[in-house]
Amino acid sequence: MSRVLPDRGRISPHCKARRHGDYSAYRYGCRCPHARDDRRIYAKRQRQGRAQPAYVDGTGTRRRLQALAVLGWRWTDIADRFGIAWQPVQRLALLNRLVHVDSAARVAAVYRELSVRAGPSPITARRSVAKGWHGPMAWADIDDPTCEPDTADPDAPVVDEWAVSEALAGRLDPSRLADIDLTEAVRQLLADGLRTGQVRYRLRLSFAQVQRAIRSIRTALTTEETRAA
């Protein structure tokens, strides 16, 4: 089976190579900085007799980028952090194939930074959910290709992770959250170790609202245990 190495994208505007960014592209004329880096590292590993696979399964990279999109991060927001155009980021997010280890590491790093809060675009978030992509919470092990997203009931309402993050950040009035999203916000704060009173204060909720959210969380937990048993 032949496999096509992914293109990591042109960085030097005048580079005329057909592919960019790794030792193989370098061999065929790419002199972009990431190709130079990769060639240097590859040569060093060869010298040390520990040539490691430069390409790895792309499942985790793809899921991370799609999860960031569900949170409202656009390809351009992510690409800006890498200092590249958005198209290579989109390709990493969409195509089911091998990715360069450095790309995987950079995506994982940006995911650690951005997955804890909402991105700037609710439109991106809605579209991503509509595509059937999953947010960070859906994955028990985001790198495991055999891991199924945690959406046991396909008809169950889906948490709007963007709205939850915005509410937790204080940028969205919690009174505008749907019940399921409010419950998720409460669940996250309790999981962070806040006490009930602190959760109420943080989300400006009534006592009854917090109690109702906690009951929903307990019900969900019980259902999960029943299903697992």
The residue (of 32 and 199) whose beta carbon lies closer to Zn ion is: 32
Closest CA relative to residue 26, chosen from 6, 17, 98, 44: 17
Contact call for residue 91 and Zn ion (CB under 5 A): no
Is residue 15 a contact point for Zn ion (CB under 5 A)? yes
Q: Which stretch binds Zn ion (CB under 5 A): 12-20, 67-75, 139-147, 185-193?
A: 12-20
By the rule CB under 5 A, 110 interacts with Zn ion: no
Round to whole Å and give the CA distance between 88 and 91: 5
Structure token digits, residue 199: 């959760």
CA 64: distance to chain centroid?
Answer: 3
DSSP class of residue 171 equals S
Output the smallest distance, CB 54 to Zn ion, in A: 16
User: H helices within the chain, ranges in order?
Assistant: 23-27, 33-47, 59-70, 75-82, 86-94, 101-114, 122-130, 161-168, 179-191, 196-203, 207-228
We find the least distance from the C-beta atom of residue 41 to Zn ion, in angstroms, to be 16
CB 84 within 8 A of CB 11: yes
Q: What minimum distance in Å lies between the beta carbon of 38 and Zn ion? A: 11
Contacts of Zn ion in 197-226 (CB under 5 A): none
20 binds Zn ion (CB under 5 A): yes
Tell me how far apart the alpha carbons of residues 176 and 162 are, in angstroms, rounded to a whole number: 13
Q: Considering the complex, what minimum distance in angstroms separates the CB of residue 23 from Zn ion?
A: 12
Binding mask 30-59 for Zn ion (x = CB under 5 A): x-x---------------------------
Q: Is 164 in the site for Zn ion (CB under 5 A)?
A: no
Residue 7 or 184: the one with the smaller Cβ distance to Zn ion is: 7
Strands 55-57 and 98-100: antiparallel
According to CB under 5 A, which one of 7, 8, 9, 17 is a site residue for Zn ion?
17
Q: Specify the residue, 18 or 171, whose C-beta has the smaller distance to Zn ion.
A: 18
Please tell me whether residue 84 binds Zn ion under the rule CB under 5 A: no
CB of 53 vs Zn ion, minimal distance in Å: 22
Distance between first and last Cα of the chain: 42
Point out which residues bind Zn ion (CB under 5 A): 15, 17, 20, 30, 32
